[in-house]
Structure 1
Amino acid sequence: MDGSIGRDAHRETAVRRGSLLVASPEMTDPNFAETVVLMLDVDDGGALGIVLNRPSAVTVAEVLHDWRDTVAEPGVLFFGGPVSTEGALALGLLADPRDPPVGFRELYGPVGMVDLDTPVELVDGSLSRLRIFAGYAGWGAQQLEQEVARGDWYVVPSELVDLFRADPVDLWRDVLRRQPGELAWHSTRPADPDLN
């Protein structure tokens, strides 16, 4: 046994809307090394998600001025992934799940996408958290399934606390650390196991 949990049969591999993809320590693609990706859409045609732990140095006030007072701390744009980086997606958490605002599309529970073309005044007060992402991560049909099977990603459940952390620097390690069994060990594993 090589110690890689990426091929263990007992590990969850079904990617669903709302699940997290956690990059394995062997992930070498610089777009995804040590990332945590929230899955927004998964179907037979492919999958779409946003990287939760890549804040940029650009403030929301600089690029989407009207939304500056609505976003969660830190008030910066996050890199959602390498696809369509000139566009923006907004992830929101409802203050009251019984009262979604105009422009809100539910993903699961109180979490959903917010249409940034919606006037801010129609949304303000109805969300307890909002984060804006430049770009997204996308996979074609069967591409993500192949990457998971190869051991590039761990598929784990998300928790609300993962989505809007003020300091997302340790998100990758924290998500791994709370997983059962051997998967938690990877939170302390170096990228090059030979250095251990």
Structure 2
Amino acid sequence: MTEPERPGTPVEEELSGRLLLASPALSDPSFAGSVVLVLDADESGALGVVVNRPTDIEVASVLPAWASAVGEPATVFRGGPVAPENALALGLLATVPSPEDPEPPGWRGVRAGLGLVDLDVAPELLLGSLAALRVFAGYAGWGPGQLEGELALDAWIVIDALPGDPFSPHPEQLWRSVLRRQPGRTSLLSTWVADPTLN
């Protein structure tokens, strides 16, 4: 189910900026039905954020200075089980910078205009550059070799992200909609339901 690794390329270099969709075989309640955007992956492990689990907490109530950049639903998302007390923000630049351009202050690029926003910088330094912003409580993390082991067990489906995926206004539909646009048999998974009598 996962895409094959390119010969001679470490799997971690292939994952940053891509989506991990929980396969129907993944029963861990922390991740069942989840869509994870991988933010960083190397030999020491990987981390990402679950992009399809909004909470009821309004961003305006906890980070009012950033609220104007947040799209619908304008809530904090449950980014994962690690450090849920910490906030992490993901942004999309209005214009994709060229490799020679300096990064805006408070910005760490992940891939093609997508990056992490430092919520401690003055918002006015970045707000004019952002097309989208999403705030997460916590993140998903894997130790060395852990994610590769899960991929080998077909626990995750690796899919290229579209720029708008992490900022979908309908996060509850994201798992199915991402699968539906895939070619071949992968798209059939979008019809999967947990109750086998409904399949």
The 10-residue stretch of structure 1 (91-100 or 159-168) with the greater mean CA deviation from structure 2: 91-100
Partner residue of 1:52?
A: 51
Q: Structure 2: state its 5+ residue gaps.
A: 6-10
**CA 1:195 to 1:71, structure 2 compared with 1: closer, same or farther past 3 Å?**
closer
**In the TM superposition, what is the alpha-carbon distance from 1:96 to its structure 2 partner?**
2.3
**In the TM superposition, what is the alpha-carbon distance from 1:161 to its structure 2 partner?**
2.2
CA shift digits 1:88-138 (9 cap, x unpaired): 111111112337531011111111110000111111211010111110000
Structure 2 counterpart SS, 1:179: coil
Q: Structure 1: state its 5+ residue gaps.
A: none
Distance between the aligned counterparts of 1:144 and 1:20, measured in 2? Answer: 13
Partner residue of 1:74?
A: 73
Partner residue of 1:21?
A: 20
Partner residue of 1:105?
A: 108
**In the TM superposition, what is the alpha-carbon distance from 1:63 to its structure 2 partner?**
1.4
Write the letter of the residue equivalent to 1:16: L
Give runs of aligned pairs for residues 169-184 of structure 1, distance below 5 A: 169-184=172-187
Give runs of aligned pairs for residues 1-196 of structure 1, distance below 5 A: 5=1, 11-12=3-4, 14=11, 15-98=14-97, 100-193=103-196, 196=199
CA shift digits 1:160-191 (9 cap, x unpaired): 12121111111000111111111111111223
Distance between the aligned counterparts of 2:178 and 2:96, measured in 1? Answer: 25
Distance between the aligned counterparts of 2:91 and 2:161, measured in 1? Answer: 15
**In the TM superposition, what is the alpha-carbon distance from 1:26 to its structure 2 partner?**
1.8
Distance between the aligned counterparts of 2:44 and 2:194, measured in 1? Answer: 32
Q: TM-score, normalised by structure 2?
A: 0.89
Total equivalences in the alignment: 188
**In the TM superposition, what is the alpha-carbon distance from 1:193 to its structure 2 partner?**
4.3
Distance between the aligned counterparts of 1:101 and 1:158, measured in 2? Answer: 23
Could you list the runs of 4 or more consecutive aligned residues of structure 1 that deviate by over 6 angstroms after TM superposition?
none
- Say whether the 8 Å CA contact 1:47–1:139 is kept in structure 2: yes
Distance between the aligned counterparts of 2:198 and 2:171, measured in 1? Answer: 26
**In the TM superposition, what is the alpha-carbon distance from 1:194 to its structure 2 partner?**
6.2
Structure 2 counterpart SS, 1:27: coil
**In the TM superposition, what is the alpha-carbon distance from 1:83 to its structure 2 partner?**
0.3
Write the letter of the residue equivalent to 2:64: H
Write the letter of the residue equivalent to 1:78: F
Distance between the aligned counterparts of 1:121 and 1:160, measured in 2? Answer: 23
RMSD: 1.6
**In the TM superposition, what is the alpha-carbon distance from 1:25 to its structure 2 partner?**
1.0
**In the TM superposition, what is the alpha-carbon distance from 1:65 to its structure 2 partner?**
2.0
Structure 2 counterpart SS, 1:146: helix
